Amino acid sequence: MNLDFPWLALGSFASGIGSLYLLAQLQTHWDKPGARWFVATIVTQIVWCFSYGVALLVFDRTLRLALEMVSWLGIIWIGFCFLSFALGYTGRTNVLESGWYRGVAVLPLAGTALVVTNPLHTVVWEGFRVVSTAGSAGADYAVLPMGLLTIIVAMLFVSFGTLLVFDTVVSYGPLYRREALAVGLSPIPPGAAVLVWAGGIGPVPTVNLTTLLFLPHVALDLYAFVRSDMFEFHPATRRAGERAAIHDIATPVAIVDDQRRVVNLNPAAEGMLGVDKREGLTEPLNGFLIGDDIPPDGESSRVSIETGGRRREFKIRQTALRDEAGTQLGYTVVFQDITDEIRRERRLEVLNRFLRHNVRNESVVIQARAELLAAELDGDHADHAATIERSVSRLVDSGQKARTLAEAGAGDAALESVSLADLVTEVIATARDGNDGSVAVEIPDDLRLTTQPALLEILLANLVENALQHVPDAVVTVGATVDGGDVVLTVSDNGPGIPEHELGVLERGRETDLNHGSGIGLWLVRWTTTTLEGELEFDTSDGTTVTVRLPRERTAAEAA
């Protein structure tokens, strides 16, 4: 090898060209979190590489000293830019934009001022002279304590930034583990070169080999940020999501340790407890509650807590926090305010009790008297009495259906394995009382499903009764088949079809003054199907065919 050939300068230029290529590849990502600071880092790196490459070719002391100062500025600013990139990339923009971090920028500014004015005070280095080293213009001088401190601060910036990126990306799990390793390793070669040079050790102490070792640094960054698209899936999204999931929601959330002491509170929890988060840290959570205490067993519960001078009801959900080894560290405690829901339930209970008892009892009296009048009167008067009797009968029937739904929803969550054919046969026997028409059953005798029998019976009864009651000389067919893990149940009749406005109300899920159904039967069908985790379809192209798809095997969790 010809030692007089400027190999060192060419190596520095090669690093600059590689850095330019990296910068070009990242152009489409410049709007990503932290990307502009990463661009600033690479630009600093490019200026450093090319200026130092030129410096190695210049033997004029004045010009060589000026170019050496540019290298020092590269050392100073590359650390600050890289740390700023790491903060933005990992979603810590609150730190990046804070006043105290702007104060940190004073350090590289102060270092810049010291380097530029060093010929006046010589506190950074002294004894600068140009020496020929392996065909290049090396520089021999003594780095003073202030210069070493400046370099150490810059290296600390790089180290902190590397740790932030490495730790945050690894927390994604296996998604970017190798890429995170590349990011963690990339600053090591140039960083080690800076420290070796500053210490005056190594094979060529008069030459700073940092720019040459930017080549593996660039290669590792290309692998991590370009080949693997680390800027496409950046940790800032996750950090923002975690913040929104706890800090920004209106639901009070408290994080406690295994001793039930407060570790963190979101703003909603601060308002509910009437305490500032900084004052509440390390204090027992129950100490801030006026009313019931949260059970220590970690189970969900319901407590009554006084907040804002009023007592509110909360549903408490506690989720254990564990590390990767499975060790329990504490709990996430979520307070769901159910005060309005409970009040609404109580009002509905009173209204339901009134409708079930008072209205039903009075309707039965009217129905009985109408029957007596219809039997004793003649002509139009008898017809009027019969009309009253039929209307009240429908009202009583609707009340009974509402009562059936309320009772079934309250206490029939238990799952059982039932024979569908047997259940349908029982339903049909009951539905035929007082109704004309025929019902055919096309269900295999061995077809069974695990479900809530009481709710399924309500569903079947309303479908069959609806067809028998509203279709003259009805011909009803009840069938069932197995489709994968589902049972497909069909009830069809030869009637004119359910009116479109009735189906429209079901599809919208609510009734209005202008759009409402004529009864509660179809609502029972829809509600029971939903509770049974099923799907409901209506086909009125030829009569009415109702298709209900139910899971063949339900779990206790689904029925809860």
Residue 74, domain member (yes or no): yes
pLDDT at 412 over 50: no
Contact between 335 and 269 (Cβ < 8 Å): yes
Q: What is the CATH number of the domain that holds 261?
A: 3.30.450.20
Mean per-residue pLDDT, 36-46: 91
Distance of alpha carbon 370 from alpha carbon 385, whole angstroms: 5
Asked if the structure places residue 343 within a domain, the reply is: no
Same domain, 394 and 447: no
pLDDT confidence of 163, banded at 50, 70, 90?
confident
Check whether residue 121 and residue 155 sit in a common domain. yes
Please state the three-class secondary structure of 444-482 as a single string.
Answer: CCCCEEEECHHHHHHHHHHHHHHHHHHCCCCEEEEEEEE
Q: Are residues 126 and 159 in the same domain?
A: yes
Judge whether 137 and 55 are in contact, CB under 8 Å: yes
In a domain, 244, yes or no: no
% of the chain at pLDDT higher than 90: 21
342 found inside a domain: no
Same domain, residue pair 458 and 507: yes
Q: How confident is the model at residue 517 (pLDDT cuts 50, 70, 90)?
A: very low
Q: Is 3 exposed, middle or buried (0-12, 13-18, 19+ CB in 10 A)?
A: exposed
CATH of the domain at 49: 1.20.1070
* Length of the chain counted residue by residue: 560
Better pLDDT: 514 or 481:
481
Does residue 22 have a pLDDT over 80? yes
Give the tens place of pLDDT for each residue, 278-311: 888 888 888 888 777 787 776 777 888 777 777 8
Q: How many CB atoms lie within 10 A of CB 483?
A: 9
Q: What is the mean pLDDT of residues 417-441?
A: 83
Q: Which residue has the tokens 């999204």?
A: 237
What pLDDT was estimated at residue 58? 92
Same domain for 205 and 158: yes
Q: Is the pLDDT of residue 357 over 50?
A: yes
Residue pair 137/58 in contact (Cβ under 8 Å)? The answer is yes
Kindly list the distances between the CA atom of residue 253 and the CA atoms of 75, 76, 249, 297, in Å, as whole numbers in the listed order. 45, 43, 9, 18
- Helices and strands, counts by H and E, the chain: 22, 14
pLDDT of residue 24: 86
Q: Which of 193, 208, 239 finishes a domain?
A: 239
Rounded distance, CA 533 to CA 554, Å?
9
Residue 481 CA: distances (Å) to CA of 421, 464, 465, 538 = 11, 18, 22, 17
- Whole-model pTM: value is 0.54
Same-domain pairing of 120 and 223: yes
Residue 484 CB coordination number (10 Å): 8
pLDDT tens for each residue of 485-508: 889 999 998 878 777 766 766 665
Task: Kindly indicate the confidence band of residue 511, based on its pLDDT and cuts at 50, 70 and 90.
Answer: very low
Count the neighbouring beta carbons within 10 Å of the beta carbon of residue 330: 22
Between CA 342 and CA 467 the distance in angstroms is 38
Tokens of 370: 């109408």
Taking a C-beta distance cutoff of 8 angstroms, is the pair 449, 418 a contact? yes
Q: Would 166 be classed as within a structural domain?
A: yes
Backbone angles phi, psi at 509, to 5 degrees: 80, 10
- Binning pLDDT at 50, 70 and 90, where does residue 114 land? very high
Total tally of structural domains belonging to the chain? 4
130, pLDDT greater than 90: yes
| pLDDT at residue 145 tops 70 | yes
37 inside domain: yes
Kindly tell me the sign of the dihedral angle through the C-alpha atoms of 109, 111, 113, 115.
negative
Q: Which range (132-141, 162-171, 182-191, 337-346) has the least confidence?
A: 162-171
Question: In terms of domains, do 15 and 84 share one?
Answer: yes
Distance CA 79, CA 112 (A): 13
Could you tell me the pLDDT band of residue 51, with boundaries at 50, 70 and 90?
very high
Centre a 10 Å sphere on the Cβ of residue 446 and count the other Cβ atoms it contains: 8
For residue 197, is it within any domain? yes
* 549 and 497 fall within a common domain: yes
On whether both 34 and 125 belong to a single domain, the answer is: yes
456 in the same domain as 515: yes
pLDDT at 549 exceeding the cut of 70: yes
Comparing 326 with 334, the larger pLDDT belongs to 334
45-49, 235-239, 429-433: least confidently modelled range: 235-239
Q: Which of 221, 239, 257 is the last residue of a domain?
A: 239
pLDDT recorded at residue 65: 95
Range of the domain at 190: 7-239
My answer on whether 522 and 558 are in the same domain is yes
- Check pLDDT > 90 for residue 272: no
- State residue 64's pLDDT score: 93
Same domain, 159 and 234: yes
The answer to the question of residue 384 being in a domain is yes
Domain boundary among 239, 272, 296: 239
